[in-house]
Amino acid sequence: MSTAVATTEIKDVLKELGIEEVNSGASTGNHWFATRGEKIDSYSPVDGSHIASVNSATETEYEACIIKAQEAFKQWRLVPAPKRGEIVRQFGQKLREYKEPLGKLVTYEMGKSYQEGLGEVQEMIDICDFAVGLSRQLDGSTLHSERPSHRMYDQYHPLGIVGVISAFNFPVAVWAWNSALAWICGDVCIWKPSEKVPLCAIACQKIAAEVFAENNVPEGVSSVIIGDYKIGEMMTNDRRVPLVSATGSTRMGIAVGEAVAKRLGKSLLELGGNNAIIITPSANLEMVIPGVVFGAVGTAGQRCTSTRRLIIHDSIYDKVKDILANAYKQIRIGNPLDQNYHMGPLIDKAAVKMYEDAVAKVKAAGGKMVVEGGALTGEGYESGCYVSPSIAEADNKWEIVQHETFAPLLYIMKYSGEVSNAIAIQNGVQQGLSSSIFTDSVRESELFLSCAGSDCGIANVNIGTSGAEIGGAFGGEKDTGGGRESGSDAWKVYMRRQTNTINYSSELPLAQGIKFDF
């Protein structure tokens, strides 16, 4: 598929999604404000084309969205949770109808492959399905009181406004992870998307607004505010936003966490990863190679769960290195809307420069390039955002290896002896998001999953680091921020917990046997 064809096709996609003409960067539903902030231009990394321009929101629109969200919350929290779930079910159904055009927009505006674009929309659908079932299971606990004729229990109530700050690499799914759960919990959401992918956010808001209007849901249950970091700062410093869920770099997360903590708010942080795969002597290499390659080059290495480090037992190191280098020769790079290609572009030219600088730092540190990638030029690469991936032999202690490079740069290194030595290398970074081991040894896999094993929030056996399912809680430890989104009991972060004690006797006994007679 040529880039010219892609540009023509995307016009039809924008029309189908109802965003042929956009200018406003703030909405509380079907109402779009006449924003007059700085213009944000959306350029496709696929072909460099200008897609559209959006006027960013200002403090005036931010304040209006907050007020409308507060008003909506007072009504939305009173809607029974299963009824809220029914509306989320309809939203999921609407996403099924828009899956193809929304997936194409994700691909064209962000640059990931079309299959990954469709997969991201499928994640949105899956979290809606999960949330619908959960809307009938927002349970608490019945507790036993030490006092006679007393009953105690825990219950959960909605928090209020949930602020969602999302990154460019998953321009629609991360918002849905948060919003679907927050909505069924009775919260309202204000979304500050990455200014690099504004059209994806506008499309999602329009789809949600369509469903909400059909169900007479009040304006303000779903709001979007597009702008730069200043919008994020307003949100993180705003006491009217009890929870801020932020996805992005560790640097950004530290700033958000500090600001929210100063006002004693709650933050859910999903930050950087430095994910490793351990390959043991018993590993099935036919499974290892595709897992590693997808983990390292999928989304052009721009996933927080992308595979950054490969820790290989010295007895099979050379064999794995050679097979991997040969596999990289088969990676096809080009227009991500064309499904013949494995890998599309990086998000922008600044990302290309960051990647090239990282490769230079690896070489300066003494790293040997097994596969040396870099910027691609020529026909099909006119946007200046395409690169070929790299593999480098490196030391885990090097500064460049200790930091996350958001690009297709894979470090390989050896371990010898027991698998505990590999686990120590894997854990020897500040990030703790995703991890994986390939082994046919039950002893090794169980050690990896034990408290003496991986220190990451995600630990996989015989699958890669990338590609989490909705049913499990997603998140990591250490510099990854400690947040949990999506499945399991992640819903609890969107609610406030309350303990209730009911005295159905005619006396007033005190706890701990305290006497207070007068």
Enumerate the active-site residues. Answer: 270, 304
Tokens 């919003």 -> residue: 179
DSSP per residue, 247-268: ES-HHHHHHHHHHHHHTT-EEE
Contacts of residue 483, Cβ cutoff 8 Å, sequence gap at least 6: 245, 267, 268, 269, 270, 475, 493
Contacts of residue 218, Cβ cutoff 8 Å, sequence gap at least 6: 71, 72, 75, 76
Q: Give, rounded to a whole angstrom, the gap between the first and last alpha carbons of the chain.
A: 87
Give the closest residue to 246 by CA, choosing from 208, 191, 197: 191
Q: How far is it, in rounded angstroms, from Cα 189 to Cα 518? A: 51
Do residues 146 and 511 lie in contact, with contact meaning Cβ atoms separated by under 8 Å?
yes
DSSP per residue, 336-357: TTSTT-SB---SSHHHHHHHHH
Q: Coil, strand, or helix at residue 360?
A: helix
Q: How many CA atoms lie within 13 A of 283 on its CB side?
A: 30
Tokens 């351990």 -> residue: 278
Give the closest residue to 137 by CA, choosing from 84, 74, 215, 174: 84
Q: How many CA atoms lie within 13 A of 144 on its CB side?
A: 1
Do residues 462 and 282 lie in contact, with contact meaning Cβ atoms separated by under 8 Å?
no
Do residues 141 and 190 lie in contact, with contact meaning Cβ atoms separated by under 8 Å?
no
